[in-house]
Amino acid sequence: MRDAAVRSPQARGSSAVDASVLAQVDAVIERYRGKEGALIPVLHETQEIVGYLPRCVQSRIAGALRIPESQVYGVVTFYSFFAMKPTGRHKIGVCLGTACYVKGGAAVLQAVKQASGADVDDVSSDGRFGVEVTRCVGACGLAPVLSVDGDIYSRVSPDSVPEILARYT
Amino acid sequence: MDRVKLVIDGQSVEAQRGATILEAARQAGIDLPTLCHHPALGGGGACRVCVCEVVGAKNLVAACVTPADDGMVVWTNSKVVREARRTVLELIIASHPQECLTCVRSETCELRRLASRFHVDPVRFARRREPLPKDESSPSIVRDPSKCVLCGRCVLACSVVQHVGAIGFAHRGIETTVEPAFGDDLASTKCVACGQCTLVCPVGAITVKDDTDAVFEALSDETKHVVVQVAPAVRAALGEEFGLPAGTDVTYQMVGALRQLGFDAVFDTQFSADLTIVEEGHELIERLNNGGPLPLITSCSPGWINYMENFHPSLQDHVSSCKSPQQMMGAVIKTYYANKAGVDPAEIVSVSVMPCTAKKYEAKRPEMQSSGYRDVDFVLTTRELAVMLKQAGIDLRNVHHRDFDHPLGESTGAGEIFGVTGGVMEAALRSVAFALAKRPLEGLELEPVRGFDGLREAELEVAGRKLRVAVAHGLANAEELLRRIESGEKEYHFVEIMACPGGCIAGGGQPFSQDPEIRHRRASVLYAGDRSKGLRMSHENPAVKQLYREFLGVPGSRVAHELLHTTYCHGAPAHGQPATARDVSKTGRSR
Ligand code: SF4
Ligand code: SF4
Ligand code: SF4
Ligand code: FES
């Protein structure tokens, strides 16, 4: 499915990155200017600096390297290691596969949103958590399942969510 | 040795070294199916519809990208090939909306043809993709990504041929799409509305905005006076839609058909092409005499104008302030003609038939109504006109031949060649040279600016003055020409740019064709039309002279400026959002 957050006005905002960070990005571009195959290394280094590749940064890179935005966006969306939105220090995945859903996955998700302060496909304002809905993780016998940074929590009840998240600072 | 010998399906075949197996096979009369490959674009290798067996090779190869080699033995119709090909088609069709009954491309769809040619049964595979929303944001182009087969032809056309890159591949795997950056709609990109993507899309995934219903509506409204103008390139290609050979001139059948369709008057955009030359020629001479800015660059291709505004706004003072012939005609219709015919301009519906999709966008620009009325209300492409005629049961081959209405139907040979790359340059030079030297150019035909080389230049001496001119068509070629000009590498007095490769004859609204010779055939109609005319210099057009006498005064007059000229945007507005008001005082171009 297409990423709804990518289309939202906030994700499009161009003021998300401050000037000193942009200056570092410009320095990266400057180093690669005129070199063959500059795009991917520029995107890599930029992601290291900014943390992700928001729209305004992609446009900046496209403009400076004189290539169409569609090409930059194509590369960013092709490789899974590029992110178009901030990812959060800890990645929470809530399974909404059939089994998890039946066993109350939606309530768990609700609790996760509340405890983390982040919406689905979004990051909490302190940058601590990012929340995603995952497809079936193949642990249906343990439903509902929650994962944080790859740690799997099984038979999660909504009440236990704050306690689980407290382990990740 | 530059030829290779190979065997295809048991036949020995000779081909140019470097030719693909596909080309070699087609030369030998074996028509391999293709989908992602388009002869005008190169590319290919993505869909694998064209697979064939090369004896000794480990896997089946894609004929469209594999060079034919000496001693190769190729089978294009063996059992493995047939099975592989069918599987490929089945997989494509499995993720395709099966809307052929109501699809605009139904009759011309390459996928539907392949499916019926190879008897594809799609039930073996489950549907793999969710439908994606349609994008109707652009006044010219409609995207229906659910129908996209990811062939990449539009991406090549847009980024390589047109140097725009409004659309590209995004995402990966099953979620791969062809779309504008950031999933935006097309109207917020730098799309120039040229429609070249619609010409190469094999299916109904990128099409032209359909205005046929609106025009039928106007035609059936008794209270409206519905007039139509037709661009030169339309008569050179419309016949193809009715099974006539490419290169058939259908001018008079076309006029007859338009009358039968119910238009109250049929005018010729060649008239306003002549008018454009008079105004633009005047502008060039003024600039030559008053020190610039030079080069003067033509403005009759709205796809080019969009490109200039989006990518080279600093050139706007170089671009002629003349509106395109379509808009000039529109402005003249709602003023001069309305007055002459005794019709209230508010009752006039002004339709144009164009080879061009960018003209739909141009007609909607807010500033294109200096008479107080929209210059042009609806723009139809050549393909849309064919659709309307077919709906009305009118067969171009069996209609009465009729001629255009007066006075806006009169034209010279110079107006006719406007439809092909180099034609505006040639037409302008005929009149400019005459004005400067007080006699016609020797041999009116300017060979150096003719032909289809991407960039052409010429130098000629007129009245003791050297004029350096250049012509570019296709925006990637234009980009290269502008680079040379901006870097100071080249200096010209006059430059013609047309957005579409080949000029209007190969515009985004013309009939589909994969015939590499098509542009030559269509161009020959216009050049023959020019030769057959008694008058071949725009300023000799008696109806144009009469228009100046009765209404405009002299070229470049205040009335002419108000109605026939325009100004361009500062900055780079995305094409779907024309600048709201163009402040003449700010651009400093009100002369
Ligand atoms: S694009 Fe072709 S195959 Fe698809 S619905 Fe239209 S006609 Fe049918
Ligand atoms: S209309 Fe022209 S510029 Fe726009 S997407 Fe199509 S090819 Fe690109
Ligand atoms: S939109 Fe048409 S031309 Fe472009 S990739 Fe899809 S099917 Fe091919
Ligand atoms: S036509 Fe050859 S791979 Fe698509």
Ligand having the closest approach to the CA of B141: 2
Which domains can be identified in chain B, with CATH numbers?
A: 3-93 (3.10.20.740), 212-570 (3.40.50.1780)
How large is the ipTM?
Answer: 0.86
| Confidence (pLDDT) at B516 | 83
Report CB contact under 8 Å: A69, B164.
Answer: no
Which pLDDT band holds residue B440 (cuts at 50, 70, 90)?
Answer: confident
| Confidence (pLDDT) at B292 | 77
Domain boundaries, chain A: 3-78, 90-165
Find where tokens 């300017």 sit: B446
pLDDT in tens, B495-524: 999 999 999 999 999 999 998 899 999 999
d(CA A59, CA A66): 10
Ramachandran area for residue B183 (φ above 0: left; ψ -120 to 50: alpha; else beta): left
Tell me if B154 CB under 6 Å of ligand 3: yes
Tell me if B122 CB under 6 Å of ligand 1: no
d(CA B170, CA B168): 6
Find where tokens 């032809």 sit: B153
Residue B558: alpha-carbon gap to chain centroid: 32
Ligand having the closest approach to the CA of B201: 3
The percent of chain A in helix, strand and coil, each rounded to the nearest 5, is 50, 10, 40
Tell me if B92 CB under 6 Å of ligand 3: no
Beta carbons within 10 angstroms of residue B517's beta carbon? 10
Cα→Cα distances B153→B115, B202, B307, Å: 19, 8, 20
Find where tokens 């999709």 sit: B357
| Confidence (pLDDT) at B73 | 96
Please say whether the beta carbons of A15 and A50 come within 8 A: no
pLDDT in tens, A60-91: 999 999 999 999 999 999 998 898 887 788 88
**Non-local CB neighbours of B432 within 8 Å, separated by 6+ positions:** B281, B284, B285, B462, B467
Report CB contact under 8 Å: B181, A12.
Answer: no
Whether the predicted pLDDT of A124 surpasses 90: no
Please say whether the beta carbons of B543 and B410 come within 8 A: yes
Whether the predicted pLDDT of B432 surpasses 90: no
Beta carbons within 10 angstroms of residue A18's beta carbon? 9
Report how many Cβ contacts below 8 Å link chain A to chain B.
58
Q: Which residues pair with B472 in a beta bridge?
A: B455, B497
Stretch B114-120: mean pLDDT:
91
Tell me if B48 CB under 6 Å of ligand 4: yes
Stretch B362-391: mean pLDDT:
95
Determine contact: A132 vs chain B, CB below 8 A: no
Reading the block at residue B6, the tokens are: 């190979």
Residue of B35, B37, B142, B150 best suited for mutating to test ligand 3, as the one with most atoms within 8 Å of CB: B150
More confidently predicted of A139 and A54: A54
Determine contact: A12 vs chain B, CB below 8 A: yes
Please say whether the beta carbons of B474 and B463 come within 8 A: no
Å between B158 CA and nearest CA of chain A: 10
Taking alpha carbons only, the member of B41, B319, B259 closest to residue B153 is B41
Please say whether the beta carbons of B377 and B225 come within 8 A: no
More confidently predicted of A2 and B51: B51
Beta carbons within 10 angstroms of residue B554's beta carbon? 12
More confidently predicted of A7 and B78: B78
More confidently predicted of B253 and A142: B253
Determine contact: A9 vs chain B, CB below 8 A: no
d(CA B49, CA B579): 45
Taking alpha carbons only, the member of B524, B586, B509, B429 closest to residue B231 is B509
Stretch B112-133: mean pLDDT:
82
Please say whether the beta carbons of B4 and B68 come within 8 A: yes
Stretch B248-271: mean pLDDT:
97
**Non-local CB neighbours of A114 within 8 Å, separated by 6+ positions:** A161
Residue B41: alpha-carbon gap to chain centroid: 16
Report CB contact under 8 Å: B182, A72.
Answer: no
d(CA B381, CA B422): 22
b/e sequence B363-375, b meaning 16+ C-beta within 10 Å: bbbebbbbbebbb
Whether the predicted pLDDT of B119 surpasses 80: yes
Catalytic residue numbers of B? Answer: 280, 283, 300, 320, 359, 362, 367, 504
Task: Please tell us whether the domain made up of A90-165 is placed in CATH 3.40.50.2300.
Answer: no
pLDDT in tens, B3-56: 999 999 999 999 999 999 999 999 999 999 999 999 999 889 999 999 999 999
Peptide bond into B355 cis (omega under 30): no
| Confidence (pLDDT) at B574 | 46
Determine contact: A167 vs chain B, CB below 8 A: no
pLDDT in tens, B281-334: 999 999 999 987 999 999 999 999 999 999 999 999 999 999 999 999 999 999
Please say whether the beta carbons of B39 and B161 come within 8 A: no
d(CA B97, CA B100): 8
Type of residue numbered A75: V
**Non-local CB neighbours of B442 within 8 Å, separated by 6+ positions:** none
- SS3 for B99? coil
Tell me if B111 CB under 6 Å of ligand 1: yes
Find where tokens 């689905």 sit: A120
d(CA B233, CA B412): 15
| Confidence (pLDDT) at B1 | 61
DSSP string computed for B347-399: GEEEEEEES-SHHHHHHH-TT--TTSS-S-SEEEEHHHHHHHHHHTT--GGGS
Taking alpha carbons only, the member of B51, B523, B481 closest to residue B249 is B523
Whether the predicted pLDDT of B244 surpasses 80: yes
Asked whether the whole model's pTM tops 0.80, one would answer yes
Cα→Cα distances B210→B140, B198, B240, B509, Å: 8, 12, 20, 11
Whether the predicted pLDDT of B139 surpasses 80: yes
Stretch B336-359: mean pLDDT:
96
Report CB contact under 8 Å: A58, B181.
Answer: yes
Lowest mean pLDDT among A107-121, B16-30, B393-407, B481-495: A107-121
Name which residue sits closest to atom 8 of ligand 1, judged by CA. B100
The burial of B455, by beta-carbon neighbours within 10 Å (0-12 exposed, 13-18 middle, 19 or more buried), is given as middle
The burial of B400, by beta-carbon neighbours within 10 Å (0-12 exposed, 13-18 middle, 19 or more buried), is given as exposed
Stretch B545-573: mean pLDDT:
85
Longest dimension (CA), chain B: 78
Using a CB-CB distance cutoff of 8 angstroms, which residues of chain B are in contact with residue A9?
none
